[in-house]
């Protein structure tokens, strides 16, 4: 499932088409503020901009190219978009050569490494709309106190339910689970010799939602202290382990599926937990499966889910940071984000765009509702290594010790913080 998680950090997969209506540069930067890191004024030149993206497909590539071209025509500044075959590799090569792209997609996991070595411009506080982004997204792109880059969009986790299996089990809308206990109850009712009640990926990127619902997280909000082995997280893993042993919850790989959408589409499970990227996959690969989307059930501490996002990074070495900032400002307006959503499916990262998005995507509202209480992955150097090790431990949760698993994660995070 890791492949699909990485692929969809910034995009969903709604099959729709959209055309951006841009308002031109009009950024209103009458004075040049100082960057949050590195000091000095923004660079400005006649140089054009290069924009590097990791695209989910033709719809995303066209949408971003159209948006950038419209801004370029209005501003008079040349800008070229390149859809990378391997975005992370090409981004790294650009920095290594001393000629990085001016603007680029950047994941939460990659942010700390580039921020710590001075490769990134910390421009977040310069944005006119900085207070409009969801706070959890701002936190995901804040490193050592500096808000580095504008969240371009995001995805969140929700519960998907096969409605035919639901009806066959004698369940109604009133039975849609809103608590852990109710989730256990319906999962048991939905489990048959042919399919399990609930199937999820064997990874923190899914199980972390239960940790959030219990009031836990791997680190504190500022990513300065490890909290992996907290009682709340132990309670969450203990709950998941119980369902695994009861046979009402399975890992998708144990069902012979690659991820939750495949398990749902092939009828191997009645419910799964995935992000809004599942909608396009179900439409394209399993069009006959009827399903609904619901918010994840509350845990002992209330609602909780996971979020995944990319931001628009700007290179410190860009000779035209001012133009790069103006481009990003345009690409993150509510108008632009709603157009991106129509074109290739991501959730808008601006709170002011929420109502318009909900009105246009009523069946998918639970995904956006999750923005109010979502958690992101820790923003520290070595995050990917932490996730890899933790996920290998979680694969054995059914017979493993939740406390020991989390103690190991705690030690790994504390080692990175020293």
Instruction: Report CA torsion sign: 99, 105, 109, 111.
Output: positive
Pair 327, 402 in one domain = no
Pair 91, 34 in one domain = yes
Pair 269, 365 in one domain = no
What HEC string does 208-254 produce?
A: HHHHHHCCCCCECCCCCCECCCCHHHHHHHHHHHHHHHHCCEEEHHH
pLDDT at 31: 38
Express as a percent the part of the chain with pLDDT over 90: 82
CATH no. for residue 199?
3.40.190.10
Mean pLDDT to the nearest integer, 37-49: 80
CA 405 to chain centre: 24
User: Does residue 381 form part of some domain?
Assistant: no
| Average of per-residue pLDDT values in the chain | 89
Structural domain that includes position 354: 8-155+308-375
pLDDT at 24: 29
Pair 302, 364 in one domain = no
pLDDT tens column, 255-290: 999 999 999 999 999 999 999 989 888 988 999 999
Q: How confident is the model at residue 223 (pLDDT cuts 50, 70, 90)?
A: confident
Pair 28, 139 in one domain = yes
Pair 302, 221 in one domain = yes
d(CA 13, CA 280): 4
Pair 318, 280 in one domain = no
pLDDT of residue 119 exceeding 50, the answer is: yes
Express as a percent the part of the chain with pLDDT over 70: 90
pLDDT tens column, 294-319: 999 999 999 999 999 999 999 999 99
pLDDT at 40: 58
User: Does residue 386 form part of some domain?
Assistant: no
Residue 321: how many other CB atoms lie within 10 Å: 26
User: Does residue 389 form part of some domain?
Assistant: no
Tell me which residue has tokens 């070229």.
Answer: 80
pLDDT of residue 133 exceeding 50, the answer is: yes
In terms of pLDDT, which residue wins out, 105 or 343? 105
Pair 409, 279 in one domain = yes
Instruction: Report CA torsion sign: 133, 135, 139, 144.
Output: positive
CA 362 to chain centre: 20
pLDDT at 38: 42
d(CA 168, CA 52): 48
Mean pLDDT to the nearest integer, 42-52: 95
d(CA 128, CA 144): 22
pLDDT of residue 19 exceeding 80, the answer is: no
d(CA 298, CA 308): 20
Mean pLDDT to the nearest integer, 186-208: 97
Mean pLDDT to the nearest integer, 236-252: 98
Residues in the chain: 418
pTM of the model: 0.84
Pair 275, 409 in one domain = yes
pLDDT at 55: 87
User: Does residue 274 form part of some domain?
Assistant: yes
Which strand (E) or helix (H) includes residue 375?
Answer: strand 374-375
Contact assessment for residue 356 and residue 350, using Cβ atoms and an 8 Å cutoff: no
User: Does residue 404 form part of some domain?
Assistant: yes
Q: How far apart are the first and last CA of the chain?
A: 31
Contact assessment for residue 204 and residue 322, using Cβ atoms and an 8 Å cutoff: no
* 3-state SS assignment for residue 66: helix
pLDDT at 345: 86
User: 34-39: long-range contacts (C-beta < 8 A, 24 or more apart)?
Assistant: 35/121, 35/122, 35/123, 35/126, 35/321, 36/122, 36/123, 36/124, 36/125, 36/146, 36/147, 36/148, 37/115, 37/118, 37/120, 37/121, 37/122, 37/146, 37/148, 38/118, 38/121, 38/122, 38/316
pLDDT of residue 116 exceeding 70, the answer is: yes
pLDDT of residue 253 exceeding 80, the answer is: yes
Residue 382 backbone dihedrals phi, psi, to 5 degrees: 95, 10
pLDDT tens column, 358-395: 999 999 999 999 999 999 988 888 888 899 999 999 99
- As separate numbers, helices (DSSP H) first and strands (DSSP E) second, the chain gives 17, 12
In terms of pLDDT, which residue wins out, 343 or 178? 178
Both tokens of residue 62? Answer: 């066209």
pLDDT of residue 124 exceeding 90, the answer is: yes
For the ranges 20-24, 71-75, 329-333, 340-344, the lowest mean pLDDT is seen at 20-24
pLDDT at 147: 97
Pair 269, 195 in one domain = yes
Q: Give the number of domains in the chain.
A: 2
User: Does residue 388 form part of some domain?
Assistant: no
Of 113, 135, 107, which Cα lies nearest the Cα of 10?
107
pLDDT at 5: 36
Pair 106, 209 in one domain = no
User: 83-92: long-range contacts (C-beta < 8 A, 24 or more apart)?
Assistant: 83/53, 83/54, 83/55, 84/52, 84/53, 84/54, 84/55, 87/52, 87/53, 87/54, 88/54, 90/52, 91/52
d(CA 328, CA 15): 25
Mean pLDDT to the nearest integer, 76-87: 95
Pair 220, 287 in one domain = yes
Q: State how far the alpha carbon of 322 is from the alpha carbons of 72, 310, 327, in Å.
A: 14, 21, 9
């Amino acid at each position: 499932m890791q492949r699909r998680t990485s692929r969809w950090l910034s995009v969903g997969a709604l099959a729709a088409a959209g055309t951006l209506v841009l308002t031109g540069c009009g950024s209103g930067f009458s004075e040049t503020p100082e960057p949050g890191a590195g000091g000095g004024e923004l660079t400005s030149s006649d140089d054009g901009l290069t924009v590097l993206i990791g695209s989910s497909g033709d719809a995303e590539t066209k949408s971003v190219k159209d948006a950038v071209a419209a801004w370029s025509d209005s501003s008079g500044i040349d800008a070229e978009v390149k859809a990378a075959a391997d975005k992370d590799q090409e981004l790294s090569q650009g920095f290594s050569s001393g000629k990085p792209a001016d603007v680029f997609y950047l994941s939460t996991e990659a942010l700390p490494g580039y921020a710590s070595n001075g490769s990134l411009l910390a421009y977040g506080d310069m944005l006119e709309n900085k207070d409009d982004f969801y706070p959890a997204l701002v936190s995901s792109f804040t490193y050592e106190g500096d808000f580095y880059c504008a969240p371009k969009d995001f995805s969140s986790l929700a519960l998907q339910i096969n409605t035919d299996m639901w009806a066959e089990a004698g369940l109604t809308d009133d039975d849609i689970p809103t608590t852990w206990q109710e989730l256990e109850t319906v999962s048991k009712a939905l489990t048959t010799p042919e399919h399990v009640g609930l199937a999820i990926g064997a990874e923190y990127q899914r199980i972390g939602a239960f940790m959030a619902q219990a009031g836990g997280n791997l680190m504190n909000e500022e990513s300065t202290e490890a909290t992996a082995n907290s009682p709340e997280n132990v309670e969450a893993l203990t709950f998941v382990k119980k369902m695994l042993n009861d046979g009402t919850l399975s890992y998708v790989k144990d069902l012979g599926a690659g991820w939750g959408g495949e398990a749902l589409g092939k009828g191997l499970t009645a419910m799964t937990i995935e992000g809004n990227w599942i909608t396009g996959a179900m439409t394209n690969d399993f069009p006959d499966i009827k399903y609904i989307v619901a918010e994840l059930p509350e845990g002992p501490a209330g609602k909780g889910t996971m979020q995944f996002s990319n931001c628009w990074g700007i290179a410190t070495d860009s000779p035209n940071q001012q133009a790069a900032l103006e481009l990003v400002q345009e690409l993150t307006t509510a108008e632009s984000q709603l157009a991106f959503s129509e074109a290739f499916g991501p959730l808008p990262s601006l709170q002011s765009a929420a109502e318009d998005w909900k009105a246009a995507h009523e069946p998918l509202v639970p995904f956006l509702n999750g923005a109010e209480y979502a958690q992101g992955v820790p923003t520290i150097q070595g995050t990917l290594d932490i996730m890899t090790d933790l996920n290998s431990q979680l694969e054995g949760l059914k017979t493993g010790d939740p406390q020991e698993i989390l103690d190991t994660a705690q030690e790994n995070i504390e080692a990175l913080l020293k």
